[in-house]
Each structure stands twice: as structure tokens, then as C-alpha cells.
Chain A
Amino acid sequence: MPEVSEVTRALKPTWCPGCGNFNMQKALSEVLSESGMRFEEYVMVWGIGCHGNGADFYRSQGFHGLHGRALPVATGIALTNPQLKVIVEMGDGDGYGIGGNHFIHSVRRNVNMTAIFHNNQIYGLTTGQASPTSDQFMKTPSTPGGVVEEPVNPVGVAVAQGATFVARGFAGDVPHLKELYEQALAHEGFAIVDVFQPCVTWNKINTFKWYRERAYKLEETPDYDPTSRTKAFELSMSTFHDLTCAPEECRIPIGVFYREEKSFTYQDGLPQLDRPLWQHAQQPRDIRSILEKF
């Protein structure tokens, strides 16, 4: 089992002191270490943003690609070698805005991989502009009069689009986050973990304190049934609340919203994935029989 110190890199991250990304890295690197997976068994893919700088802070088989395009790259990796565990990290702007289209279609495809979203409801790397998950009427440098539109409801979109595992974590609760990561990594299908990860520098509204006062765990909610899609969808509507809502007015559920144990994954639909794709392409294929038809 690789030590946590081997999974991460001995380099001081460029994140601001107190950034939620530190706890997310702590949770994920501990889970990776405890999973006992060898380095050649998993691949990590990052988008662009503060989270994406994490590419430099892990030691793994990694791919740090273009803004919003982590999911297509990860899908490619997952579909070229079914033996690899694929873990994607994206941000809220990266994953729900720039890569929003990829998000919807990755959910629809149910590609067997884990997608983690660093959701700080702001563009942190570029100094605090409104992101797709910024609450309506929030004032930012790019929205001095307040955000006009409603935020994206990632949990709701995923559940509505047929996702097979949807969870939401909070970077202020590492043990809980680790449980979510473990379940997501064990899930057969597209596993989504949206993580509230306060940006201590640019988001002065959705702070650690703000979440602590509002978050409650679904695991501790009596009778919550994570196999009910309609219930999960209903809960996801907590995304839409007044910007200045009091803690008792906007309760924010965290935990596993929805899970479907047995689902048909994209990989299940591709018989050629009985082996890595490179093994198919070592010799030119004889296409004469196909040409004869013409």
C-alpha cells in the first residue's frame, strides 16, 4: 500500500492558506493510500482552475488537460483500458460551466469512473468572478449588480439525467468526505461527488462557517432512502435559496443523494473492451471482406 506521502508530492501547494482544496487532497490521498491501489492501477485527470493546480501536487498517472475538458479525456482513458480506475477532478466553472455539456453526456453514458467537483461557487483562480454555481444576486467583480441567473443545480441535473451515483461532500468534514470517496470509487458506473469547498479568498458568503451552520448529513437523516430518484431530486432543490438566507431557512444536505447498485455502464455496452484497445491495433486489420461487398 503506497503511503499518503507517496501519493502526494513533497511540494507546497499554491492554494491559499485555509483553502478547501487542502482538505479535499487530504481526504483523497488518504483514500488512495488506504485503497492499496498501485500507481499503475489508476489515472487522475484534472481540468483547469485552482483544483487543477493539484495535478502538480499528486504523484500518479495523471493528465492535466484543457479547461472544461477533463471528462472527455477521462472517458477516453476509461474506454481505452478498462483495467484502469479513472478519477476526475474538476471545478464548478470548469465542470458545470465550460464543461457543462460534457457533464450531462457523461452522466447519460454512465462511464465507469469517479468525478469529483471542487465546488466553491466562484472562479477562484481568476480572482473571484461569478461561476455557474454562484447564488443568484451574489455580487462579484464580474457581476457588480449581482448575478442575474439561477445557479446550476449539479445534483439535480445529474439525478434527472439518470446518474447512478450522486453524492455531495463538504471540505470541512474530511472523515465524511472520505466515506463518500470510498463509495464513489467502489461504484460501478459514473460516480459524482460534488464537494462544497469554500474559497477563503474570494467567496465571503459561502464560507466554512456558512456551510457548518447549514449542512446536515443524509446518513443521519431518518428514513432517507438513497434509492429514490424523486426524493433525491426534491432534495437537490435546496440549491435554490435566498442569497442571505438564515441557517434555519436553508438547510443543505450532504451525503449520498442517490445510488443505483446495478446499472448498465458504457463499458458494459462495448464488447471490444475485453482487453485494452492498444492490443487491437498492433497489426493492420484485413478489410478485404468488407471491400468485396462493393
Chain B
Amino acid sequence: MIHAAQGEFPRVVMAPGDREDAFVLAWKAFNLADQLQTPVVILGDSYLSDNRESIPYYDLDAVTVERGKFVAEGDIADHPEALGADGQYFRYKLTEDGVSVRALPGVSGATQLVNSYEHDEYGWGSAGEMATVRSAQDEKRMRKMELARTLVPPPALFGVPPEAADVSLLVFGTTKGPALEAIRWLEPEGVRVAMMQVVTVWPFPAEEVLSFLDAAKTTVIVEGNLTGQLQGLVRQHCLRDVDHTLHRYDGRPFSPEQIYAKLTEVIAGA
């Protein structure tokens, strides 16, 4: 999801941990896609989509519709920020935050060429073959990642703060449920656990993850894959590793028992 590409392009990847996450991230994903004008991926799995659960009402009042730089009707001439020097509408105008005004077909004066080839500010593919144009458009698109960092949901924290924890857990996606259950089981035994759920996987929240790991005594990543994808991101972006890992990759979700056993083992060894 993070690396699949024909050439580099910005994107957002978010991993809901449960039904409520899925609901909230879904409407946020639509908003982000409009605000950033770039693909937003929701990383679901069968565990999330194929089981049932009774849940409290979602907070529907929190839902907003954010269309970003968007013109749906009228005349593009009324939006000077969307125009080039000669008054021509530029669908891919170079901007500071990387996002250009998007005018829907039907807006007067907004002729444009939406193009899957590299292109200039108008959209012409022939002009996109020029090296300077190509670099400028590539850099413009990638500037969206800086804007994305300010808009995406931050990691979620559960349990005690990492400073006060015997063991600190880093997870993403639906590992959240069984991990929280394991934490509940450990509570009566006097074991204090901190947990960080990486909600937005990309752009990777390196700063938050690093301060969480640095504040922790013992760190564990629990993730549902063979190769350690989250651990890889931690190493790449936080320039450090974790103390222990637990993987499951037999096509089934983690059970709380598994995570409970791993955490017990880690604490016994610490």
C-alpha cells in the first residue's frame, strides 16, 4: 500500500482497528482525498469486515464534509487563485501546499486535461515530457505529504503512559482488539501496559512513535504479518528497533491468549 506505484506519488494509508475506527476513518478518508487530491487507502482485513459486534451509536455530529480547493459550479474567472498569468485555468497549478484548485467539468472557462501522463500546469502531456516541467510537477505533488501530516489522524494511546508501563506495545489495524483484551487480563495481575495504535500508517508518524518508544522501558511490536512491516517502518523512520516482536501470519487474527502469553513472557524475562 505504501510502496505500490508506477513512479512515486503521495498517498495516505490508514488502518482502522475496529468498527468505530472504520466508520470515523471512512469519512475522514473522503475528506482527506478531497483536501489533498490524492489517493487515500483504508487498510481493512477480513477480521474487521466479517464479524459482528454490538456497538454504541457512532458520533454522527462529528461527521463533516471537507471538499478542499473545489469549484463545482459558476465561472472559473471568479477564482483568480486557480488561474495562470494569462487568465487560463490551470488544473495542476504549482502551489505552495501542492494542491491546486479542482474545477469540475461544467464550470465555465475551466477547460482542462486530466492526464495520467506527466503534464504541465494545464494538463498537456506533450509539455510534461520536458525535464523541468516533470520535476516541478513531481515536487508539487510530493509537497502534499507535508500537508497530509497536519491533517491525518494521529496514533491512539491506550493503557498507562509508556513512562509508567512495565511493557509498551506498538500495534496497527485489528490487532487493537485482542491486544486491548490481553491488557485487561494483565491488569488484575498488577502488570501495567501502554499501547500505541498506529492509525495513520502513511505518512508514518515517526515523531510520535519515537517518543513513545523512547519513553518506554520494554517495547513489543505485535503485528499480523510474517516480515515485520510495522517494525520495518519503525527502523526506517525512527532509526531504532524494538525489544520484542510477535507475528501471526496463518491467515487468522491474533487471539488475546497469544498476546497475553507473549507479554507475560516478556515481563518474566525483563
Interface residue ranges, A against B (CB under 8 Å): 11, 14, 38-41, 43, 53, 55-56, 59-66, 77, 81, 83-84, 276, 278-279, 281-284, 286-288, 291
Contacts and interface: CB of A to CB of B under 8 A. Distances in A.
B115 A39 contact: no
7 contacts: A38-B108, A40-B107, A40-B108, A56-B124, A61-B111, A81-B105, A282-B65
Contacts of A40: 105-110
B126 A11 contact: yes
Interface residues on B, range: 20 to 34
B65 A43 contact: no
Given A39-B111, A56-B124, A61-B112, A284 B27 contact: yes
B117 interface: yes
Nearest to A41: B106
A61 B105 contact: yes
B156 interface: no
B64 interface: yes
Nearest to A282: B65
A64 B125 CA distance: 9
Nearest to A291: B57
Given A64-B115, A64-B116, A283 B65 contact: yes
Interface in B69-107: 72, 104-107
Nearest to A59: B111
Contact of B113 (A56, A84, A286, A288): A56
Contact of A81 (B104, B111, B125): B104
Given A55-B125, A84-B105, A286 B60 contact: yes
Contacts of A53: 125
A281 B104 contact: no
A5 to B, nearest CB: 14
Contacts of B112: 61-62
Contacts of A278: 72, 104
A284 B27 CA distance: 9
B123 interface: yes
Given A11-B126, A55-B125, A291-B58, 13 more contacts: A40-B108, A41-B106, A55-B113, A55-B115, A59-B111, A62-B111, A63-B113, A64-B114, A64-B115, A64-B116, A81-B104, A284-B27, A284-B65
